[in-house]
Chain A
Amino acid sequence: MPAEKPATAEAGDTDAERSPNREFAIGLARAFAGAVIFALPLLMTMEMWAFGFTLAPYRLMVFIVLTIPLLVGMAHFLGFEPTFDAQEDVVDAFVAYAVAFIAAAFVLLLLGVIQPGMSGREIVGKIALQAIPGAIGALLAQSQLGMENEEQKSRERNAGYFGELFFMAVGALFFAFNLAPTEEIILTAFHLSGLSALVLALVSLVIMHAFVYAVNFSGQASIPADKPAWLVFLRYTVVGYALVLLISLFVLWAFGRTENNSLYENALSVVVLGLPGAIGAAAARLIL
């Protein structure tokens, strides 16, 4: 670690003696662990394997193209380098993607989901799709595990209103991504009445708002105490839930789950996926 970086040198005296390459290699190992932990449930989900070859190429492209800025944003808010450095964030993002891609390829090969005789499209599709949740896990592990220090904590806390919304979006996306591939989401929507969906949406809102207060209690919220309750509800819970619904719609679209369905049926699916999305969004604010 170069001498001109006192901020990270304080994090641990032993770190200062390690070579940057070695330190990065340790971070890389953590990133692999994170990628596998976060992606394993999906790596072992049958629907995800099928999406590897049934998903239209352009949908997969949209997924990948949107994942990169998401990773850069995460690297910015969570990155273990405390300096604000856009280049570093972009590098972190691509490192996370590389790690996730390799980890996904390795696990899929290990499980026999990728085999000889499969077309390039099937193999690339399966890996590229699984690399998305894996990259989120890799980036989290790379930045969160180990390198925890006060500098970083304070940065997360001071992420600001849009930073908070960003964390919510990441949490919602990750949870929605985990559940949208399953048949259960649309199946639930099929047998849900409009009224039950409304109840589900209200319950999602209540859960999200409860988390807002939980965050307040844990002391890491950036909600000023003098703000009236309704404003907090509007700024965090309602806006957060709107974000959750938009992300749910996007994920359902990207997985081709909205295709040839009525608006009503799609609205129900969005609300159903919105439940895990809301919990993911709310939990992300608490955890990240």
Chain B
Amino acid sequence: MAGDDAPRDAESGQKGAGANDIPPLEWAVAMLGAGLVIATLGYLLLLGIGHGQSPPDLQITVQAYTAVESGYLIEFEVFNRGYQPAAQVTVQGSLRAGDIEIETSETTLDYVPSQSWRGGGLYFANDPRSYTLVLRPLGYQRP
């Protein structure tokens, strides 16, 4: 291998810096690549040492209310305030009249990554507007 390269080395030595051969556009793209690598690594490093491992902390907000064919639909969004992702997140919605639970409905979201939103919907037979609607996460799996 060394023997194979030797004459070329001599050639490149003759013409001086090999940098002259690299077109400006190539330099620019290479710099972009180097920048992306450094930025990605830096960002990941910050994530790794920064917020630590705070567990999934799920906050559910109602987005929309719609009367549909099968009853009433409540669309919601889940925001994971923690810094660990949650898989198979079960969300339960219940309609209450005072202390009495009128109806419950639940669904499962595949993933709610850290600091991200995911959405879903729950169907109810009774009109949620006539009762108190409580949405809460029941549990998750560690991915």
Q: Which A residues lie at the B interface, using CB under 8 A? A: 2, 4-5, 7, 19-21, 23-25, 28, 50, 53-54, 56-58, 60-61, 64-65, 68, 81-85, 87-88, 90-99, 101, 117-122, 124-125, 128, 131, 154-155, 158-160, 163
Contact = CB atoms under 8 A, between A and B. Distances in A.
A24 B44 CA distance: 31
B113 A98 contact: no
B29 A83 contact: no
A121 B115 contact: yes
Interface string B22-34: 1111110111111
B113 A122 contact: yes
A56 B48 contact: yes
B134 interface: no
Nearest to A25: B25
Contacts of B31: 94
A93 B30 CA distance: 8
Contacts of A25: 25
A99 B34 CA distance: 11
B85 interface: yes
Given A61-B48, A88-B22, A94-B31, A53 B8 contact: no
Nearest to A90: B30
> 7 closest A-B pairs (Cβ-Cβ)?
A98-B33, A94-B33, A20-B23, A119-B115, A53-B113, A57-B48, A57-B44
Contacts of A119: 113-116
A58 B21 contact: no
How many of chain B's residues touch chain A, expressed as a range? 35 or more
Contacts of A128: 40, 44
Given A84-B8, A87-B18, A163 B1 contact: yes
Interface stretch (B9-17, B64-72, B97-105): B9-17
A213 B102 CA distance: 74
A118 B9 CA distance: 50
Contacts of B19: 87
Given A57-B44, A58-B44, 10 more contacts: A2-B20, A4-B15, A7-B8, A21-B26, A88-B21, A91-B26, A92-B30, A94-B29, A98-B30, A158-B1
A97 B41 CA distance: 13
Secondary structure of the A contact surface, majority rule = helix
Interface string B42-56: 011101100000000
Contacts of B27: 91
Contacts of A98: 29-30, 32-33, 36
A159 B11 contact: no
A90 B12 CA distance: 17
Given A54-B85, A121-B113, A99 B29 contact: yes
B138 interface: no
A136 to B, nearest CB: 14
B29 to A, nearest CB: 5
B117 interface: yes
B125 interface: no
B87 to A, nearest CB: 8
Contact of A53 (B5, B21, B45, B111): B111
Contacts of B45: 57, 61
A57 B41 CA distance: 9
A85 B16 CA distance: 12
